[in-house]
Amino acid sequence: MDRPKGLSPDQDAAAVERIEGRLDAGVLFISDHAANALPAGYGTLGLPQSELDRHIGYDIGAAAVARRLANRLAAPALLTRFSRLLIDPNRGADDPTLVMQLSDGAIVPGNAGIGAEEIELRLNRYWRPYRRAVSQTIEAMIDAAPLPAVLSIHSFTPSWRGRARPWEVGILWDSDPRLAAPLIAALTAAGVIVGDNEPYDGALIGDTLDEEVTRRGLAGLLIEIRQDLIGAPDQAIAYADRLEPIIQSVLERPELRQFAFYKSRTGRHG
């Protein structure tokens, strides 16, 4: 994925937080919704700061978990530096929810009536630099060997529309069971209440894993953690430390180090 003309590496750095790690670590951590920041000139998109501080602005606690896991496993990690309300890096470039004008009941004034030119600007300055960083890091890790697995760290709200969500962790995946099945089993054995494609479905055309991982034949999945378990920095570190040995045990499986292609549940081939 080439850098658009006129876009400098410094602008890439403004969009992506890079955590250095061993290219032969066998795992890459990413966090698509790591931050709730907005670039100068966008203000708060017309929202109260309190709206940006809740789930519509970012995945609370996910960044701290991703950083801790990367540190514990000496692995690289890539995290966004901008709010998903600016543009959602975990959506395809043509997804209608790429730039939300209404999110969880909140009207986003700064996105109202957004035109194609502004969307293209945000794609070039924020969405593409993040996707490019993921793509380039994966390619470098493939070259370094062994083939990397990719774990995308997210978080979810403890309740939705007044109904409590019982899961501590959700494992979201499409059709490749190599990582998902043993991780679900290992988490369950460790006493974690796990959602298998809960509270969301992992088959999403155009998301980061679909475009950058599945199409390459690599193993990957999305880990969702309930926000009341990781909302404070010390909670996030403690929960990451709980997850690390479980993840590490699954990453030792040899089938993760081979290319394999599966037909997506969306009907698209990987």
Tell me if 264 is assigned to some domain. Answer: no
Give the number of domains in the chain. 1
Type of residue numbered 191: G
CB 149 within 8 A of CB 252: no
Q: pLDDT digits over 159-206, tens only?
A: 998 999 999 999 999 999 999 999 999 999 999 999 999 999 999 999
Tell me if 61 is assigned to some domain. Answer: yes
Tell me if 15 is assigned to some domain. Answer: yes
Q: pLDDT digits over 66-113, tens only?
A: 999 999 999 999 999 999 999 999 999 999 999 999 998 889 999 999
Tell me if 2 is assigned to some domain. Answer: no
- CA 189, 151, 252, 219 dihedral sign is positive
Tell me if 265 is assigned to some domain. Answer: no
Task: Determine the 3-state secondary structure of 221 from DSSP.
Answer: strand
Tell me if 270 is assigned to some domain. Answer: no
Tell me if 232 is assigned to some domain. Answer: yes
DSSP string, 170-192: EEE-SS-HHHHHHHHHHHHHTT-
Residues in the chain: 270
Tell me if 268 is assigned to some domain. Answer: no
According to DSSP, residue 81 is labeled -
Q: pLDDT digits over 250-263, tens only?
A: 999 999 999 999 99
Q: Could you tell me the residue range of the domain that residue 83 belongs to?
A: 9-257
Distance CA 198, CA 164 (A): 13
CATH number at residue 35: 3.40.630.40
